[in-house]
Amino acid sequence: MITMKTISEIIIEFIKFLKIDTIFGIPGSNLDFLKYLSEDKVIKFIVNKDEKNSPYMAMGYTKSSNKISCCFGSVGAGVFNLIPGTISAYYESVPLLIIGGQTNLKNKGKNTFQEASGCARSVSQLNEFKKITLYNCILNEKKLFQQLEKVFFSLNDFRSGPVYIEFPSELMNLKINFNKKIFCNMKINFNRYRLDKIKLYDESKKVNQLIIDLNKSKKPVILIGNGVKDSKEIIKLSSKFRIPIFSTFKGKDRVTNNFKYYMGCLGLIGSSIGNNYFKESDLLISIGSSLSQFTTDNWKLIDNKNIYRIDTINDDITKHKGIVIKSDYSDVFKKLLSSDYKGNNNIVELKQSIDNELNKFNSPKINLIRKLRTSLSKDSIIVTEDIFLIGKYFKFYKNDINLNFTNIAPIGCALSGGIGAQIANSKKKVIVILGDGGFNMNISELNTIMNYKIPLKIILINNNGYGIVYKSQIHKFKNNFYTQFKNPDYFKLSQSYNFTAYNINNVFKLSLKKLKKIINSNKTELINVKVDIDEKIGIKIY
């Protein structure tokens, strides 16, 4: 049935077609679109306190729920503030719909208030987003449905990521013909597109060669990364042939960490025993990993070995040696299960040796992480910026979620991501673990937590400084500069936002009973853990 709707109403219908139910942002000049949005009873608009945090909240929502999310920025400064978070979403392939307002384009170049069209001396919003989104456009009433179809394709493709649409103010109240069947046709066209794309690749020869090389291998290893969504076939292969599984930090929650052949993270946060074993391996099967500098210890761990890289179909797999198999890894692993590989009998001993190595360390921060693991149920969401501490010492189980933003490594975004994750998972415990440096950057979002009564648990590692940079400087220069500062009284600060706060001066005296009580409450809790900036945690972070 064809009806007349404003473009604002059509965009809202499209947002619901994408199954987006939450938008993060701050209202500004684009009042007409927000008016229509406020009249809708399905979509929630979460008003946060700093636009730069809106994409991180949306990412936290999406990463913890596998649902597309959305953020909105008003024309000019509001839109430009979305750029850092959009870059993170682009690097991490997180599907976000970014909506940017724009002034009336009929007045283009006349120095309209907050104009950002690229005319005269104004900076083009669209140009700024072109390199950091999979698709971007200025909405046009004549091309609207073709544009929205491209948005749908980009958000649901094999390699997803952020999409930017710019909404000029003169279109917001413009009425055009609308037929809801258009969205059904988008689905049909997309399914055809995916099937055609799969047919482009025949990787059977490469898979057959992988089977041959696996049968010849004396010491194969598997590395899983962020691209792994379901590890069932990986676990089957590992179990059948006793092949050890290592992970990147992002992939640490893709397999339950108590699986007998899972050996922990690799690289700078890996155990020395595990890293040495991996380095001596002769065949690497990498799934959904970019083989980054961090994971491979400056690429030293992947030298002198046969490498097969299984990844989703896209044209931008990072440039490393090895054979790239562009295929769904579950299909490849089903074929690998037919291999005659005899397996390695020493893997259980390897895991025990790695566990023994990790258990040697028990500094205050490590003790806190172990107590936290004991206090949590096995379906918790951990949002963190402390890659070193969580990556090496926290164990993720079957239903846990490891939520982080490590590609660009923006300090402070864990708090914003935790807010998004808690909104998406109201019945789960969301624990944010971050340092005082990052916390201070986003302290304004405590107001968002208060306004929406978000029962977040915030563990603040408080060392009065930028600890990682401090340690790096001490290592390199035997001195430090610009890395230490005084903090406010976080206990009093929490009281002003109606939070419950706890000052922990000695982690070893923190009882499990007390920690469990804090974690299991239905209130917002801030745990301010005071630590020494020179504390050692058994990891070289430089």
The 10 Å Cβ neighbour count of residue 310 is: 29
Whether residue 15 contacts residue 40, with contact meaning beta carbons closer than 8 Å, is answered with no
**Mean pLDDT in residue range 427-450:** 96
The pLDDT mean for the chain works out to 91
89 Cβ contact list (under 8 Å, min separation 6): 55, 58, 59, 95, 96, 161, 162
Nearest to 68 by CA among 41, 97, 90: 97
Given pLDDT bands bounded at 50, 70 and 90, which one contains residue 321? confident
pLDDT exceeds cutoff 70 at 339: yes
pLDDT exceeds cutoff 70 at 95: yes
What the chain holds in terms of domains, given with CATH numbers, is 2-198 (3.40.50.970), 204-354 (3.40.50.1220), 361-530 (3.40.50.970)
Whether residue 386 contacts residue 413, with contact meaning beta carbons closer than 8 Å, is answered with no
159: exposed, middle or buried (Cβ count in 10 Å: 0-12, 13-18, 19+): middle
| Beta-carbon-side half-sphere exposure of residue 257 (alpha carbons within 13 Å) | 23
pLDDT at 198: 62
pLDDT at 192: 85
pLDDT at 334: 85
pLDDT at 542: 56
pLDDT at 317: 62
Given pLDDT bands bounded at 50, 70 and 90, which one contains residue 202? confident
Percent of the chain with pLDDT over 90: 72
The type of residue at 65 is S
Q: Which two tokens stand for residue 314?
A: 């896209």
pLDDT at 7: 96
The type of residue at 269 is I
pLDDT exceeds cutoff 90 at 29: no
pLDDT at 468: 87
75 backbone dihedrals φ, ψ, rounded to 5°:
-50, 145
Given pLDDT bands bounded at 50, 70 and 90, which one contains residue 306? very high
pLDDT at 114: 79
Given pLDDT bands bounded at 50, 70 and 90, which one contains residue 540? low
The 10 Å Cβ neighbour count of residue 488 is: 10
- Alpha-carbon distances, residue 198 vs 328, 404, 482 (angstroms): 10, 30, 52
Whether residue 49 contacts residue 445, with contact meaning beta carbons closer than 8 Å, is answered with yes
The whole-angstrom separation of Cα 295 and Cα 297 is: 6
pLDDT at 541: 63
pLDDT at 176: 95
Nearest to 296 by CA among 247, 353, 254, 252: 247
pLDDT exceeds cutoff 70 at 393: yes
pLDDT at 200: 54
Q: Which two tokens stand for residue 239?
A: 């179990």
**Mean pLDDT in residue range 499-518:** 95
* Predicted confidence (pLDDT) per residue in 211-260, tens digit: 999 999 999 999 999 889 889 999 999 999 999 999 999 999 999 999 99
Q: Which two tokens stand for residue 153?
A: 């394709």
pLDDT at 203: 84
What number of H helices and E strands is found in the chain? 21, 20
Q: Which two tokens stand for residue 409?
A: 């490594």
Whether residue 424 contacts residue 22, with contact meaning beta carbons closer than 8 Å, is answered with yes
Instruction: Match 């009873």 to its residue by tokens.
Output: 41
- Alpha-carbon distances, residue 52 vs 26, 82, 232, 262 (angstroms): 10, 5, 37, 37
Torsion over CA: 96, 99, 100, 106 (sign):
positive
Instruction: Match 């406020």 to its residue by tokens.
Output: 38
The type of residue at 117 is S
> Looking at residue 242, what DSSP letter applies?
T
DSSP string for residues in 194-206: HHHHHHT---HHH
Instruction: Match 């399905």 to its residue by tokens.
Output: 42
pLDDT exceeds cutoff 90 at 201: no
pLDDT at 475: 87
483 Cβ contact list (under 8 Å, min separation 6): 465, 466, 467, 469, 470, 473
Percent of the chain with pLDDT over 70: 97
pTM, entire model: 0.94
- To 10 degrees, what angle do helices 232-241 and 329-336 make? 20
pLDDT at 243: 95
* Predicted confidence (pLDDT) per residue in 133-191, tens digit: 999 999 999 999 999 999 999 999 888 999 999 999 999 999 999 998 999 899 999 88
Torsion over CA: 462, 465, 468, 472 (sign):
negative
**Mean pLDDT in residue range 405-426:** 91
